[in-house]
Chains A and B, each alone.
Chain A
């Protein structure tokens, strides 16, 4: 069975600085999707970024980028120029190519200090 591990329960960063959130996963599959979701205090889970495993190029969305290392089964999220509004719980998630189930990590709470 696939598993997703987020080893950092909490992280903090100063405004305008860069922070990296870690995620590793375990799978025997070759085709899959990976996601980072953000859950702010309002609780609405929002997709931040996604990566298809067959793509070697790392996904980027404005200030958010990933470092996808398929062989190492690692999928870290880098937030550049951190803003106060980035403070939230961040979840890494995995989905097999041919199923509908998302498997989530336990989350990393990010604090942003002025």
Chain B
């Protein structure tokens, strides 16, 4: 089974702090994704990556950056956390080849910024 692991289930940070959300997948998938989930808004794509050191902006990249130094790890970075970034963050991965079109998700990190 594909496993996507997010390092923290819950995180509480202060405004202005630099925050790292880590995601690791164990299936050698090329593509990885970060989503933000808010009530009434569904999931919105923040960033995604096709390969190591490659990244693409999603629909709501403002205030976020990402890092992919190794194939299995995709990090989401909040350079200076703000209260409007309080949310649930979901990581996903998918094998390359558009015919393989299932994204596998982690259990999410619920981030509170105070």
Interface size class of A (residues with CB under 8 A): 20 to 34
A9 to B42, CA, bound (A): 11
Interface residue count on the B side (C-beta < 8 Å) = 25
What residues of A have a CB within 8 angstroms of the CB of B44 in the complex? 104
Give the tally of cross-chain contacts (CB within 8 A).
49
Q: Within B24-57, which residues are at the interface with A (CB < 8 Å)?
A: 31, 33, 40-45, 48, 50
Contact A101 B45 (CB under 8 A): yes
In the bound complex, what is the Cα–Cα distance between A97 and B105 (angstroms)?
20
Residues of chain A contacted by B98 (CB below 8 angstroms): 97-98, 100
Q: A98-B98, A100-B48, A101-B58 are in contact. Are A106 and B108 (CB under 8 A)?
A: no
Show 20 residue pairs from A and B whose CB-CB distance is below 8 angstroms, ordered by the A residue. A33-B101, A37-B105, A42-B107, A43-B88, A43-B107, A44-B108, A45-B90, A45-B105, A91-B42, A95-B101, A100-B48, A100-B50, A100-B94, A100-B98, A101-B45, A101-B59, A102-B43, A104-B42, A104-B43, A105-B42
- Further contacts, 19 of them, CB under 8 A, given A37-B105, A47-B102, A101-B59: A33-B101, A42-B107, A43-B88, A43-B107, A43-B108, A45-B90, A91-B42, A100-B33, A100-B50, A100-B94, A100-B98, A102-B33, A102-B45, A104-B42, A104-B44, A105-B42, A106-B40, A106-B41, A107-B42
